[in-house]
Copies of this chain bind each other. A is one copy, B any other.
């Protein structure tokens, strides 16, 4: 741990959470669930399990399959468990930041796993520290645990509600105590959280893809603002928070979630494909072939090809053996970072007018390298189509976007961006096009947060928060 001021960028965490109640192999099921949610966080992973009396904890850096050996899973007995995948953020990685947090406080043991991000974590932390609290991690999530521990409410649920009314931001949360499994989603519903049955027990997951793997039957989403207690009496639902407008993260559909998940009631693959179909209508171009940037660009590229009548091809092959670090020769290789992940098929591209479809454009640096590589493989023209609008604002609710300055769309016009990345043409999907991909019932209510595309954050910030978040 370095004693610098806690960098706020650390607070930006995408994560996956998963919980089981009432299964004899709760930890093993959680391990599989976390594996299915691996795309939501690769930095490290942890599981806490319990038989209602003892609590066991195993955590470590790396992928789920690396962290959990047979021996470690065997040290996680009990019929209930929660787990967490943490995203790889830049800067120091510390085991202390890995979740679930397991603490022993005056009501006994409590474990917590958090997906989302709090915007007032620093000021709450300052207050708690003045009061004598000692923090172990540099994450925003830990303030919730301390607020619960310091609450004067009598019951655990009372203390959780008390604590959550004091924080602002996005949270999908799982708690494990001797009283059972508790799942909560903030009133905006920023991050997803879904419920399923597994035989006599219950499963909760960030994404439904994990239900497929463990053969659980999807029941419904945990609703925005809902707190659910699962114990030997079954499932009890509470709505303890003041209602507010919903602000579900549309970027989960654009990029973050798996195509085989159902998120906020919509299948991700289908939404992405409709984004491609609409983009073909909004920004068609004469061309010979449509290729995706694999894997997240595939559904939109299929939609674009269908919408435009152009031929879909696999023009870029994605490597299956990508690690965290590569040793590059000193005499370095052009576009190494892209080349190690993606390899062009010359026979598909040579002499062709190529439409490349990607899900989103953040900094533009990767697209620039990619387009150079595609041209190097003989493409005559390269037309980049982005299946979402330009990103102009950072996310403070749990997606690890760069700062405003690093977003290419804040400093470059579309024409300038096209020049920079070296495309022949560049077009983005319109905001309307993005939302029209959701069935009318939903589009009407506009239940989404699209702050990254518009700068309209669902919650107003205090001046202090604006300073802390670098927005002022």
Contact = CB atoms under 8 A, between A and B. Distances in A.
Interface stretch (A338-346, A354-362, A443-451): A338-346
B109 A134 contact: no
A28 B149 contact: no
Contacts of A472: none
A212 B327 contact: no
Given A298-B314, A333-B215, A133 B132 contact: yes
Interface string A304-319: 0010000111100101
A302 interface: yes
Interface stretch (A99-107, A238-246, A384-392, A398-406): A99-107
Contacts of A396: none
A65 B345 contact: no
A70 interface: yes
Interface stretch (A52-60, A228-236, A420-428, A459-467): A52-60
Given A209-B343, A214-B333, 5 more contacts: A65-B323, A66-B323, A95-B95, A136-B136, A260-B344
A139 B320 CA distance: 28
B302 A314 contact: yes
A343 B1 contact: no
Contacts of A145: 134
Nearest to A343: B260
A38 to B, nearest CB: 4
Contacts of A313: 302
Contact of A31 (B28, B38, B39, B327): B327
A129 B109 contact: no
A68 interface: yes
Contact of A213 (B3, B134, B302, B343): B343
B135 A347 contact: no
B258 A54 contact: no
A383 to B, nearest CB: 20
A64 interface: yes
B345 A259 contact: yes
A67 to B, nearest CB: 11
B56 A321 contact: no
Given A259-B317, A314-B298, A65 B326 contact: yes
